Each structure stands twice: as structure tokens, then as C-alpha cells.
Amino acid sequence: MNLRKKFSSQFIVLTLFLGVIIVGMMSGFIFQLKKYKEYKEEIYSLNEQIKETRLEIKEAEKAKSNNDLETMARERLNMVKPGEIIYIDIKEGN
């Protein structure tokens, strides 16, 4: 009897210990899953921001190149827009 009672108390302690370990591991696993989902959403959001920024940069470069072409046409080739009136100062000498 005494031997059975001794093993019974050890079995209870061992079962409680294993139960605590299993619950701890499960809670840690659930915590890690939540963090994984949060990080995955954050990565998706940042990738979307990167795409938007790249589009903005392309549009800015396109606008800049169009502005540069217009400036070059006006200064070097003496071109004007339709309906624009050019005034030339005769006193400058050129």
C-alpha cells in the first residue's frame, strides 16, 4: 500500500508538471502565431507603400523630363507655345 501511495503522489506531481509545461508551450505557440500574423500584415503594408512610392517617383521623373524638354525647346530652339506672344527688346543689340 505504502509503495502504491508513493507512486500515486509522484504520478500526480509529474502529471501537474507536464500539464504546466504543455500549457506554457501552447500559450507560447499561440503568442508566436499572433506575432507572425502581425508581422505578415506589416510586411504587406510596407510593400504596398513601397509600390506607391515607386509610382510617385516614376511620375515625378516623367514630369521632370517633360519640364526639361519644354525648357530646352524654349531656350535652345526658340520655340513657343501656340497662341503665345513673344516680345523682343530691340535695344539689347542682338
pLDDT digits (tens, 9 = 90+) for 49-84: 999 999 988 887 887 777 777 787 777 777 888 888
- Grid look-up 513673344 returns 86
Whole-number average pLDDT of the chain: 86
What pLDDT is attached to residue 2?
66
- The span from the CA of 74 to the CA of 12, in Å, is 92
Cβ atoms of residues 22 and 16 within 8 Å: no
pTM for this one?
Answer: 0.52
**Domain locations in the chain as residue ranges:** 2-76
